[in-house]
Each structure stands twice: as structure tokens, then as C-alpha cells.
DNA sequence: CTCATACTGTACTGGTCGGTCCAGTACAGT
DNA sequence: ACTGTACTGGACCGACCAGTACAGTATGAG
């Protein structure tokens, strides 16, 4: 019983991410889930509710993804190494095609599902900079950096790292960065950040 | 004759920006232009072509908008003042509701109109960082800053300035920054940038 | 005055899609 | 064996919408 619900949710996620909200048909969702359309309606009130649950389920999982970013941030290696490792994971993560698709979807449907997308933002991008701010505050108190305003500094570093790549990936199809492009960019960004916030 | 074309283009632009591609009806466009639907089809082959011309017309105008950014960048005031003025204009400009709508539209339709959106990106965001890179190269050669890689540095500054605000504005409805928020953020960003790229 | 061109308004076609209905089937727990 | 619940598959409704057809009107150039 719950297996069907799960199957529907999974294929709905794939289809919504690939085609967007309007272009995704509930007939397609049913077919992709090997389920009758009626079953879709037995498990979800309507298309909007299905979409909401898809996004909510992704939002819920984002906590897990953030853990992978948190780890290098609070290790005992030098600040520079910590930030570079964090930067590499952040950029490679955010540039993954499915993540780009998700962002595109969220942005496109923000006017139609304001609260939903806001909640998604808070649990994803929002949390990331909070995390970084905490790490920077700690680095400051350890005397590794001089960061009087950790929140502002976290925004600076986070968006220095992925602003350009993100903006481009969202609009320019097939604008992939090679791993070496990424490390070069991360190195440059972290170096600039360290110069700006050195003790 | 061309007056009708212009009227259609104008109301189509408004509607596409407000509602997105799918949700905009050609009946609505015709009504908003005070024109018969047939006239729309006499002036534009079909919906996709109309949309393309709307985006192209915006792309074409973007050169004019960039001029307002260029001005403070090449004045003879101190670097800091130049960058702060540039930053304020850039951020306030990009955060304007219509510009956010445009970005949302471009991102949402990037998969459907890849070449079109790529062209838009090159003429808008792409050109902006090129412009900034030129200014930074000049500042370097004047000895005001030390910028070995002007392109990379331009990305750092540009997205430090607007990455966070942009990301948030695209997803969180009604997340407006007050003018004082903007200047505070710009001041912080430019200060950090100057520390990182001081001579 | 004339004729071509652009425009109007409305009705229509054809297709899509969200959502419902229904008759029948698989299968659980009791 | 009995009953409730979930599922199937396919037909169906109603609305919407891109694009066309058509008969008639305004207008401006020669």
C-alpha cells in the first residue's frame, strides 16, 4: 500500500525535475509508476498536493546532504584546508544536474507555491550559510581568522564560491565545469577570502 | 502597422514576466494589446516566436542598462568609491521586481529555449562581469589594486555583491532589502574585496 | 474612386489534461 | 467463506488553449 505511494512519489519527482510543473502530466506520472491514474488520486488529493509532497520530501532529505558539508568544516586541519574541502564539496554538490534542476523548479514555481519554496530555501541554501557562519565564528574564537560578523562573512564566502557557477548553470544549458575548473575556482575564492579575513 | 506590433510586444512582455510562458494565453495577450487574436498571428508566427522576440527585445535593451553601471566604474574618484557606487547600482538594479521576474522566466524556460536564454545571459550577467573585469584590470595597471586575474576577481566581487540577495529574492517571495540593507551589504562586500586585493 | 492591406470579432477545430466514474480484480484480516 | 480496502483499466467530462477560418470593416496610397 505504502509501496505505491513511494513509487508515485519517486517517479513524480523525476518527472517534475525533468519537465517542470506544467509539463508534467498525471497520466505520465501514473504510467511511470506502473500504477493506474486512479491510484495516484487515491494517494494524493490533486496535482498541487502531489507536487508539494515531492518538494517536502526533498526538503526533508536536505538535512542529510548538509551533513556531508558539515564534516570537513569542523575537522582539526588548518582553516585553509577546511574551507577548501568545504568549498569543493559545496560547489560540486550544487552543480550536480539534479540539484540544478531542483533549483530551477523551485525558482520557476516560487510564485505559485510561495510558502513551500520558502521552506525549501530555509532548509537548503539558508541552512548552508548558517552552518558556515557557525564554523567561521568558531575560527574567529580560536584566533584563526578575524571575523567580526560571521553571518555576513559566510554570505561572502558561500556566494563567492558558487554564485557565478550557479547563475551560469541555471541559464546556460550544458555549461559544465570540470573538476579542475572547480578546484581552481575554489582555491582562488578561499585564498581571497583568507586575505580578506586574516587575523 | 508597426504600432500594433509594438503594442503586442509590450503587453506580451508584461504578461510573460508576470505569469510565465505556459500560463500566458495568446487570448490574454490580444486582449491586453486591444487587438484581435488574428492580428497577433499576423505579426508573429506563433507563441514561441512571440516569446523569442520578447526576450530578444529585452536582451537588446540590456546594453542601455549596462551603461548606467559603466559610468561610476571609470570615473576618477578613489577605487573604493567607484566600487561602492558600482555595487549599489548593481544590487539595486538586479533586485528590482521586474528584473527578478525576468531572471525567473529565463531560468524556468532555459531548457525549452536554450540558445535564446544563453544569448540573454551573455548580454546581461555575462557582460556585467566582463565590464567589471575591465575596470579591475585598469585599477591594477594604475597601481590601485593588485589583481593578477581580473576575470576571476570580477566574479568574486560581482557575486559577493549579489549572489546572496539574488538567490533569496528568486525563491523567497517578498524578501525585499531596504536601501540601508543594501548599502550595508555593499560596504561590507567592497571592504572585504579591497582587503583581499589590496596592493 | 479603387483596390490592396491590415485589422476586427467571432466562431470553430483539434488536442491536451485535470479530475471523476465505474465495473471488475487481488488480497488482506477475521 | 466473508468483507473491506486498495488497485486496475479504460471510458468519460469539462475546461482550456493554440491556431485557423471567414465574413466584414477601416484606411491609406495611387
Residues 69-108 of B with CB under 8 A from A: 104, 106-108
Supply φ then ψ for residue A128, to 5 degrees: -60, -45
How far CA A135 is from CA of A73, A75, A150, A188, B65, in Å, comes to: 6, 10, 9, 20, 39
Using the predicted structure, report yes or no on whether residue B186 has a pLDDT greater than 80: yes
How would you label B97-122 residue by residue, b for 16+ Cβ within 10 Å and e otherwise? eebbbbbbbbbbbbeebeebbbbbbe
Of A121, A153, A173, the CB nearest to B118: A173
Chain B residue numbers with beta carbons less than 8 Å from the beta carbon of A189 are 156
Q: How many CA atoms lie within 13 A of B16 on its CB side?
A: 25
Using the predicted structure, report yes or no on whether residue A98 has a pLDDT greater than 60: yes
What span, in angstroms and rounded, lies between the C-alpha atoms of A20 and B48? 17
Q: Name which of B152, B163, B181, B191 to mutate to probe chain A: the one with the most chain A Cβ atoms within 10 A of its Cβ.
A: B163
Condensed to tens digits (0 to 9), the pLDDT of residues B122-156 reads 999 999 999 999 999 999 999 999 999 999 999 99
Q: How many CA atoms lie within 13 A of B120 on its CB side?
A: 28
pLDDT, residue B87, reads 98
- CA angle at residue A178 from A64 to A155, to 5 degrees? 50
Most distant CA pair in chain B, distance: 63
How far CA A196 is from CA of A36, A120, B161, B192, in Å, comes to: 59, 31, 15, 5
Identify the sign of the CA torsion B75, B83, A91, B148: positive
Q: What is the mean pLDDT of residues A152-167?
A: 97
What class, spelled out in words, does domain A62-196 have in CATH? mainly alpha
**Location of each CATH 1.10.10.60 domain in chain B:** 1-44
Please indicate if any CB of chain A lies within 8 Å of the CB of B128: no
Q: What is the mean pLDDT of residues A29-45?
A: 95
CATH number of A1-44: 1.10.10.60
Range from A186-190, B3-7, B25-29 carrying the lowest mean pLDDT: B3-7
- Answer yes or no: do A160 and B160 touch at CB < 8 A: yes
pLDDT, residue A2, reads 64
- Answer yes or no: do B189 and A156 touch at CB < 8 A: yes
Instruction: Cell 575591465: give the residue.
Output: B134
Q: What is the mean pLDDT of residues A38-57?
A: 97
Condensed to tens digits (0 to 9), the pLDDT of residues B34-58 reads 999 999 999 999 999 999 999 999 9
Give B181→chain A minimum CA distance, Å: 12
Q: Can you read off the three cell numbers belonging to residue A57?
A: 520530501
How would you label A147-158 residue by residue, b for 16+ Cβ within 10 Å and e otherwise? beebebbbbbbb
Please indicate if any CB of chain A lies within 8 Å of the CB of B111: yes
Condensed to tens digits (0 to 9), the pLDDT of residues B103-115 reads 999 999 999 999 9
Of B121, B171, B185, the CB nearest to A171: B121
Cβ pairs A/B, distance under 8 A: 128
Chain B residue numbers with beta carbons less than 8 Å from the beta carbon of A155 are 163-164
What span, in angstroms and rounded, lies between the C-alpha atoms of B160 and B83? 12
Residues 6+ apart with CB under 8 A from B168: A121, A125, B175
What span, in angstroms and rounded, lies between the C-alpha atoms of A132 and A135? 5
CA→C1' distance for A105 and C25 (Å) = 39
B47: Cβ under 7 Å from strand C?
no
What span, in angstroms and rounded, lies between the C-alpha atoms of A130 and B108? 27
pLDDT, residue A168, reads 98
- Answer yes or no: do B192 and A114 touch at CB < 8 A: no
Supply φ then ψ for residue B25, to 5 degrees: -95, 145
A116 by Cβ neighbours in 10 Å (0-12 / 13-18 / 19+) ranks as buried
Of B22, B170, B188, the CB nearest to A107: B170
Return the closest-CA partner of residue B13 out of B29, B35, B34.
B29
Give A15→chain B minimum CA distance, Å: 14
Residues 6+ apart with CB under 8 A from A132: A73, A86, A154, A157, A158
Is the CB of residue A105 less than 8 Å from the CB of residue A179? no
Q: Can you read off the three cell numbers belonging to residue B157?
A: 566581487
Is the CB of residue A68 less than 8 Å from the CB of residue A89? yes
A171: Cβ under 7 Å from strand D?
no
Q: Report the residue of chain B nearest A150, measured CA to CA.
A: B188
For chain B, the first-to-last Cα distance in angstroms comes to 59
How much of chain A is in helix, strand and coil states, percent to nearest 5? 80, 0, 20
**Location of each CATH 1.10.357.10 domain in chain A:** 62-196
What span, in angstroms and rounded, lies between the C-alpha atoms of B197 and A195? 8
Using the predicted structure, report yes or no on whether residue A1 has a pLDDT greater than 70: no
CA closest to C1' of C21 belongs to A38
How far CA B139 is from CA of A171, B117, B131, B197, in Å, comes to: 30, 32, 13, 11
Chain B residue numbers with beta carbons less than 8 Å from the beta carbon of A110 are 104, 170-173
* Window A19-78, strand C contacts by Cβ < 7 Å: 23-27, 37-38, 41, 46-48
B26: Cβ under 7 Å from strand D?
yes
Amino acid at each position: 500500500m505504502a509501496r505505491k505511494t513511494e513509487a508515485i512519489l519517486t517517479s513524480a519527482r523525476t518527472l517534475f525535475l525533468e519537465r517542470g510543473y506544467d509539463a508534467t502530466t498525471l497520466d505520465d506520472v501514473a504510467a511511470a509508476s506502473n500504477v493506474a491514474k486512479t491510484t495516484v488520486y487515491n494517494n494524493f488529493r490533486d496535482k498541487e498536493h502531489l507536487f508539494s509532497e515531492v518538494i517536502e520530501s526533498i526538503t526533508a532529505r536536505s538535512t542529510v546532504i548538509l551533513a556531508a558539508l558539515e564534516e570537513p568544516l569542523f575537522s582539526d586541519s588548518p582553516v585553509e584546508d577546511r574551507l577548501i574541502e568545504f568549498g569543493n564539496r559545496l560547489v560540486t554538490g550544487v552543480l550536480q544536474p539534479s540539484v540544478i534542476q531542483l533549483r530551477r523548479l523551485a525558482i520557476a514555481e516560487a510564485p505559485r507555491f510561495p510558502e513551500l519554496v520558502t521552506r525549501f530555501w530555509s532548509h537548503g541554501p539558508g541552512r548552508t550559510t548558517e552552518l558556515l557562519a557557525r564554523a567561521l565564528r568558531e575560527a574567529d574564537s580560536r584566533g584563526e581568522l578575524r571575523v567580526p560578523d560571521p553571518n555576513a562573512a559566510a554570505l561572502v564566502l558561500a556566494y563567492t564560491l558558487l554564485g557565478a557557477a550557479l547563475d551560469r548553470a541555471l541559464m546556460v544549458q550544458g555549461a559544465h565545469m570540470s573538476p579542475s575548473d572547480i578546484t581552481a575556482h575554489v582555491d582562488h575564492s578561499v585564498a581571497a577570502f583568507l586575505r580578506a579575513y586574516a587575523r
